[in-house]
Amino acid sequence: MKLAAFLLCLATPLVAQQEAAQAAVELEAAAERLEAAQGGRDRIRALTETVQAYEAGLIAMREGLRQIAVRENDIAQELDAQREELSRLLGALSSIRKTPRPVTFHHPGGAREAALAGLLVADMAAGLQEEVDELGAQLQEAQSLRKAREAATQTLQGGLTGAQAARAALGQAVSDRTTLPRRFEKDPVQTALLVASAQTLADFAQELAATTPSPENALTASGDLPLPVQGYVLPNTDPARPGVSIAAGSRALVTAPSNATVLFQGALLNYGNVVILEPTADVMFIFAGLDQVFARSGEILSAGAPIGLLGGAPEGVDSILTENDQVDPGQTQQVLYLEVRDGQSAISPDAWFALE
């Protein structure tokens, strides 16, 4: 764990080092809490923090590799653009060096013209030397970037392995729970009838709200809840869906943004696995697109509790390096759909969540 925390800070460009350092600190803290965890719930909380710290570190590593790839590409383009000019200058310098020394001091126009020609050659040589020095610096930077990429690749492999192990441990810890805090026992027959009768996600949410007692806590909309998964909001291209889609990495962990009761979890319509949380009376947070679900119907979740994992195959170093070579951040992304409903109506999620 400590080695992984150190490696997350290694071999990343300056722009990504701050994020990697913060992730390493969080990973160290999560490791200490994991070692000190006594009960099952403490272990689940510590493992959740560990997974999140790994994911934050991997995001920083990916950004670092992207910066390396972009800079390497820039240097290659600069060198290619200068290739013809440098060839001409090197050819001229080579010709000058091959000219016998007595000839360089002779000029048909006399000593004055010979001196002027000498000054011209000296200026050209100085300009060429500047070009050579710049080329040497670019080649040195390219070599340093290659070494940084090799070190980052090894670091990334360790981070990916650690994240995968932490997710597996979290899933096992959740499945080992024997007691759950519950607000109500969901009737599976009633839920099945609701699912069968629902034509849309909105229909199901309304029917579920009508058959479920409301919680007593009074959370209010302030627009500052964290996103349930580490990622970024995609532009909405489907007007039929009033929620937002959040792009995240493969097997990314989804957590509860606030204290809430799990009203429903299971496959629903064409949304895949759906989890519906009720953070306060008449308000629902709907998450769709999960591959693995930890939450159970009727369970009372605290803020930050694990809900489940997104899909996708575990990422490998090769796929990430290919992604960065092409400067395309979207190849291995998974998408979590988030919808917020207040009473009978869908509302903009930014009333509750900090979408920026």
Q: Cα angle vertex 307, ends 304, 313, to 5°?
A: 115
Dihedrals phi, psi of 72, to nearest 5 degrees = -60, -40
How do the domains of the chain map onto residue ranges? 2-175, 188-351
Q: What is the pTM of this model?
A: 0.68
- In 3D, which of 309, 277, 279, 304 has the Cα closest to residue 293? 309
Report how far Cα 80 is from the mean position of its chain's Cα atoms: 32
Give Cα 200 to chain centroid, integer Å: 31
Q: Please list the pLDDT of the chain residue by residue as tens digits (356 residues).
A: 554 555 455 545 555 566 666 666 776 777 777 777 777 778 888 888 888 888 887 777 777 777 777 887 888 887 777 777 667 766 766 665 555 555 455 556 556 665 666 666 666 666 666 776 777 777 787 777 777 777 767 777 777 777 888 888 888 888 877 655 555 455 666 676 677 677 777 777 777 776 666 655 567 778 889 999 998 899 887 777 889 999 998 899 999 999 998 988 888 878 889 999 999 888 999 999 999 999 888 888 999 999 999 998 776 666 665 654 443 444 457 999 999 998 878 899 999 998 87
CATH class label, 188-351: mainly beta
Name the architecture of domain 2-175. Orthogonal Bundle (1.10)
* Residues 316-352 pLDDT 10s: 666 665 654 443 444 457 999 999 998 878 899 999 9
